[in-house]
Amino acid sequence: MTARCGQPDDIRVLPDAEALSREAAAALTDLLAGLTRARPDGSGPVDIAVAGGFVSSGVLALVDAEDGHAAPDWRRVRVWWADERYVPAGDPDRNDADAWRRLFSRTDGVDLRRMPSSDGDRPLHEAAAAYLGQWRAQMTGRHLDLAILGMGPDGHFASLFPGHGQLDAVDEVLAEEDSPKPPPLRITLSRGVLVSARRIWVVAAGAAKAGALQRALGGADPHEVPAAALRGPRTTWWLDREASRRLRRSRTS
């Protein structure tokens, strides 16, 4: 059963991480099935951006695996990554490696737009610039149909961290040279790209996320809690009870 907190955003609270994964995956399966059915021929693919971490291990792992849910037409889906660790292809630290194992290895015809890897001697900024060129060639004049994001205990999303200049950067694809969470070299979609998605889902589980969620949904400065930038009528917050516990406390205090 989905519970709703008395907040201005669409907040869905599930009893635990397992129930959260199951319900968000079922909703994602249904959403993508509906979007791919409704997309007119010649209008381009359904564009989604996915995060790593719990989004991949919890939610993507169950997509298209729920009984009674129509499968998306994956041939009409184009997948971008919200961010990626700049390490060699196939490295277990890479978000795309986990997402491939959890979901995309069993989809038919999906268009995967993986971010560059560190194989070879190309500097991080050159790799980010190459992906920026790919993004602009395919996405100029378009918006993501869905960005499904995680959130760290410090309130970061994608590889957009508190106090880092990338939060205000104009380019759609950015290099992060000093991530406070290893590995330090990363490529990320920008705040502007992600907040302009037609639908934004933020998935967070565990007590470690409770403080940042309370601050983000309480109107914190996004430079201090980046996830605060995701608030709005197009955003759904998928939480388990532990992650949401301070929201209930602040509601009743």
pLDDT at position 64, please? 74
Beta bridge partner(s), residue 1: none
Average pLDDT over residues 171-177: 98
What value does the mean pLDDT take over residues 200-215? 98
Look at 52-66, 150-164, 171-185 and tell me which has the smallest mean pLDDT. 52-66
Say if residue 1's pLDDT is above 60.
no
What pLDDT, on the 0 to 100 scale, is given for residue 169? 97
Distance between CA atoms of residues 98 and 104, nearest Å: 9
Helix and strand element counts for the chain (H, E): 7, 11
Mean pLDDT of the chain: 92
Fold of 3-252: Rossmann fold (3.40.50)
> Which tens digit of pLDDT belongs to each residue from 85-115?
999 999 999 999 999 999 999 999 999 999 9
pLDDT in tens, 11-50: 999 999 999 999 999 999 999 999 999 988 878 999 999 9
